[in-house]
Amino acid sequence: MGFINLNDKIRENGPKTIEKLKDKSIKTIMLTGDNSATAKNVAEKLGLDNYYPNLLPEDKVNIVEELGKEYENIAMVGDGVNDTPSLARANVGIAMGMGGADVAVETADIVLMQDNISKVNYLIDIAKKNNGNYKAKYSNTSNCEIYSSNFRSNWLC
């Protein structure tokens, strides 16, 4: 008789990243196709606020939509084909680029090319610094106004 235990490897900087997100009062929720026991184990190791196990892609989308009713902004981080619909539905879809599925990378608003999850905190810091409207005038050939809100920028020339 034998026993084999397979677990997803927790990224080394995962717990610290979650801790920093919580310091910013950001709720951390995992949407996964993994079974309940595995999801619970990962959620506890990372210190997540909540988790939803046994999900199909359409279940993830439905949960993102429901969370959108409770929270103003939803960011989804994912790397697989099963994450792609939720990446598209979230206010901001963030794909893990190096090992991620091509369709997830193409769908996401932001791609973390080094697969470094701690860059999510960096993105939030940049967004907060740029939050609100600001104007910049260029003296080249035309004047342009740049309006920035959260992760997206609009250029009016």
Q: What's the pLDDT at 155?
A: 42
- Give yes or no for residue 139 having a pLDDT over 90: no
For residue 84, give every residue at least 6 positions away whose Cβ sits within 8 Å of its Cβ, in sequence order, or none: 57, 78, 101, 103, 104, 107
- Give yes or no for residue 136 having a pLDDT over 70: no
Which phi and psi (to 5°) does residue 110 adopt?
Answer: -135, 140
pTM reported for the whole predicted model: 0.77
- Give yes or no for residue 72 having a pLDDT over 70: yes
With CA atoms as reference, report the closest residue to 93 among 69, 116, 105, 110: 110
Place of tokens 């973390």: 112
- Give yes or no for residue 51 having a pLDDT over 60: yes
Locate 70 and state its tokens: 């409770």
Locate 15 and state its tokens: 């717990």
Paired with 92 in beta bridges are 75
Paired with 156 in beta bridges are 145
CA separation for the pair 93, 123 (Å, rounded)? 12
Question: How many degrees, rounded to 5, is the angle at CA 21 between CA 115 and CA 18?
Answer: 60
Helix 36-46 vs helix 14-23: crossing angle, to nearest 10: 70
- Give yes or no for residue 62 having a pLDDT over 90: yes
Q: Which residue has the higher pLDDT, 9 or 58?
A: 58
